[in-house]
Structure 1
Amino acid sequence: MPELIETLRAALDHPGDGSSDFDLNPDFKLPAGRKLRAAGVLVAISLAGATPQVFLTKRSSALKHHPGQIAFPGGKQDEGDKDVTAAALREAWEEIGLPRHLPQVIGHLPEHETVTGFRVTPVVALLEQGFQLRPEPGEVDEVFLVPLAHLLNLENYIIESRRWRGVQRHYFTVPYGPYYIWGATARMLHELAVRMK
């Protein structure tokens, strides 16, 4: 486990550009003068079990935005948040009941720009002990764990496409069992996998 932690830290310290939902769509023109809202998501890696695993959520099907999609705990930075790291930790507490003092933040992945106008910072943290999951009913239908090894294997990533606003849009997916992990979440995980290669 110490070797994994050292490798993770080195991967996060590696310089590199940010990513976006448009990476696989070079012909897409970003709107001029767009304003992005800051957000933070928590890439929480549990070390409490036999193998490292990553916490993900299935968003409530009743939500207006991205219903039923797979996502990291997290959300936009509020006025009361010191920074995006604080936002990610607050949202993880609100969404899945993760106590703010448990995650050991070890670094950040580059910012990711979403089609919905957010500049998302993935906050990578380690959890060395378990906690009582408490999904927020209004936001989260399910919390589940995915083996880190699955997410770090670049062979598990697939590029798919669908029509979006009249054009064919390509994006990453990294399916796991019954879970269809795609879009921004898969793109940020792909960045981590590339850095850990």
Structure 2
Amino acid sequence: MTRHDQERALRRALTRAAGASSDFDLNRDVALPPDRKLRAAGVLVAFQEGAEGLDLILTKRSSRLKHHPGQIAFPGGKVDPGDADETAAALREAQEEVGLDPAAVEVLGTLPPHETVTGFTVTPVLAMVRAPFTPVPEPGEVDEVFSVPLAHVTDPARFSVQWRRWRGQRRLYYTVPFGPYYIWGATARMLRGLAERMT
């Protein structure tokens, strides 16, 4: 599939109906309080031209962070009071975390929100990077910026379900490893949703 075919497939995926997802999708026995308070966040699911098609930009979070140290994540974060919406938050955070100029980004649209175990409702913002981009990791938040082929993270066969103990309970989650990078949890679940919409 050519880069142009991949971009068309991404645009088609945005038109397909799908419900929201959550970190609890594979753990049906978890009872979520109906009055729980969720904080809004946006992440940038940004693609750029790679050696053999489109590549997805991901980060490895700093090992010094209090929350999710060393985990693989999209650039993004919570919606601040000055942000117009989740898309604005995702673009702002991507600039702060990896040096991606919002002027170089074409937003294609958003996927359904994803609820995390940490109390966020995260909106994935699909986008294309239209200008040459040299990552500049923010040292306090990001240890590394790297790319993964779109074909890898949108192939359902590359995903697996694993588990670990969390708060005394067995918790199932998706993974989609790539080389030395262990992509799991919320990031893998959102990518799994995109893969389902593209197949």
- Offset at residue 154 of structure 1 (A): 0.7
Match of 2:108 among 106, 109, 126: 106
Give the TM-score normalised by structure 2. 0.96
Q: State the partner residue of 1:75.
A: 77
**Identity across matched positions, percent:** 61
Measure the CA separation in 1 of the matches of 2:8 and 2:148: 21
- Offset at residue 6 of structure 1 (A): 2.1
Give the secondary structure class of the aligned counterpart of 1:47.
strand
Q: State the partner residue of 1:128.
A: 130
Q: State the partner residue of 2:178.
A: 176
Match of 2:93 among 91, 94, 107: 91
Give the secondary structure class of the aligned counterpart of 1:91.
helix
RMSD: 1.0
Q: State the partner residue of 2:157.
A: 155
Indicate the larger mover: 78-87 or 50-59: 50-59
Spell out, residue by residue over 1:139-181, the C-alpha distance to the aligned partner (whole angstroms, 9 max, x if none).
Answer: 0000000000001111110100011111100000000000000
- Offset at residue 131 of structure 1 (A): 1.6
Give the TM-score normalised by structure 1. 0.97
Q: Are 2:34 and 1:32 aligned?
A: yes
Amino acid paired to 2:44: L
- Offset at residue 49 of structure 1 (A): 4.3
Matched positions, count: 197
| 1:13 and 1:107 in contact (8 A); partners too | no
Measure the CA separation in 2 of the matches of 1:103 and 1:190: 23
Q: Are 2:63 and 1:61 aligned?
A: yes
- Offset at residue 18 of structure 1 (A): 0.4
Structure 1 spans left out of the alignment, 5+ residues:
none
Q: Are 2:116 and 1:145 aligned?
A: no
| 1:37 and 1:76 in contact (8 A); partners too | yes
Measure the CA separation in 2 of the matches of 1:130 and 1:29: 46
Give the secondary structure class of the aligned counterpart of 1:52.
strand
Q: Which runs of 4+ in 1 moved over 6 A?
A: none
| 1:47 and 1:129 in contact (8 A); partners too | no
Q: State the partner residue of 2:169.
A: 167
| 2:6 and 2:54 in contact (8 A); partners too | no
Alignment of 1:35-46 (within 5 A): 35-46=37-48
Give the secondary structure class of the aligned counterpart of 1:93.
helix
